[in-house]
Amino acid sequence: MSRHFLFALSFFGAVASSVAQERLLATKIYTEPTGLRFYVDGVPYRSVQTFMWPEGSKHTIIMDELEQSWFPGVRNKFTNWTDSTGTLNVTNSTTFSITATPAITSIKGVFSTEYLVRVLFYQCSGSDPSTCRPPGTVTVGSTTSTTDVEQWVAPDTELILQAFPNPGFVFTNWGPPASFSTAFAYRLKVTAPVTFQAIFAAAKRVTLLTDPPFLQVAPDRTPTRTPADMDWGQGTRHVLGAVSPQGDPDDAGKLWVFAGWSNGAAMDSVYAVDNTNIPDTITAKYVRGVRTSFLTSPQGLKLRIEGKEQWPAYNFVWGVGLKYTISAAAEQVDSKGRKHVFKGWSNGGSATQEVTITEEHLTTGFRLTAIYEPQSRLTINTNPPGLPIQVDGQECRGSCTLDRAEGAQIQIAAPANVPISDTSRFEFTNWSDGGTALRTFVFGPNPQTSLTATYRNHFRLVTAAEPGNVASFRLDPSSRDGFYAANTSVTVTAEAQPGYRFRRWEGDLSGSYQTGLVTMTVPRTVRGIFDIVPYADEAGVRNAAGETPEPMVAAGSIASIYGVNLAGAYELGSSNPLSQTIGGVIARIGNRLLPLIFVSPQQINLQVPSDLVEGAYQVGIRWNSYPEVLSTMRVVRNAPGLFHKNIDNKLIAAASREDNRQVLPDSPARRDEVVTLFGTGFGPYERSVPDGFALPADPAFPLADPIEVLVGDTPAEVLWAGGAPGQIGTALVRFRLPQEIAVVDGAASVRVRVNGRESNTVLLPVE
The CATH number of domain 641-765 is 1.10.3470 = no
Q: Which of these ranges, 157-171, 372-386, 533-547, 697-711, has the smallest mean pLDDT?
A: 157-171
pTM score of the predicted model? 0.49
**Cα dihedral 741, 744, 750, 756 in deg (nearest 10):** -80
SS3 for 398? Answer: coil
Q: What is the pLDDT of residue 176?
A: 74
DSSP 14: H
CA pair distance 584, 536, nearest whole angstrom: 17
**pLDDT at residue 15, rounded to an integer:** 38
> What are the φ and ψ backbone dihedral angles of 487, each rounded to 5 degrees?
75, 5
- Whole-number Å distance between alpha carbons of 81 and 32: 10
Q: Are 133 and 103 in contact (CB under 8 A)?
A: no
Q: What is the CATH number of domain 22-113?
A: 2.60.40
Express each pLDDT in 156-193 by its tens digit. Answer: 999 888 888 887 788 878 877 666 687 888 888 898 89
From-to residues of CATH 2.60.40.10 in the chain: 535-636
Domain 535-636 class in CATH: mainly beta
Residue range 648-673: mean pLDDT, rounded: 95
Can you give the pLDDT at residue 11? 34
pLDDT band at residue 540, thresholds of 50, 70 and 90?
confident
Structure letter (DSSP) for residue 669: B
Under a CB-based contact definition with an 8 Å cutoff, are residues 587 and 593 in contact?
A: yes
| pLDDT tens by residue, 617-645 | 999 999 999 999 999 999 999 999 999 99
pLDDT band for position 445 (cuts 50, 70, 90): confident
Q: Are 660 and 577 in contact (CB under 8 A)?
A: no
Q: How confident is the model at residue 6 (pLDDT cuts 50, 70, 90)?
A: very low
pLDDT of 130 reads 53
Average the pLDDT over 365-387 and give the result.
Answer: 94
Bridge partners of 584, per DSSP, are none
**% residues pLDDT > 90 (the chain):** 77
Per-residue CA distances from 482 to 420, 479, 523 (Å): 15, 5, 10
**HEC profile for 481-541?**
CCEEECCCEEEEEEEECCCEEEEEEEECCCCCCCEEEEECCCCEEEEEEEEECCEECCCCC
DSSP notation for 740-757: S---BTTEEEEEEEETTE
Residue 103 C-alpha from the chain's centroid:
75
Measure the CA–CA gap between 418 and 422, rounded to whole angstroms. Answer: 11
Between CA 31 and CA 34, with CA 33 as vertex, the angle to 5 degrees is 60
Q: What average pLDDT score do residues 714-738 get? A: 96
How would you classify the pairing of strands 615-623 and 542-543?
unpaired
| In contact, 212 and 283? CB cutoff 8 Å | no
Judged on CB neighbours under 10 Å (0-12, 13-18, 19+), 275 is: exposed
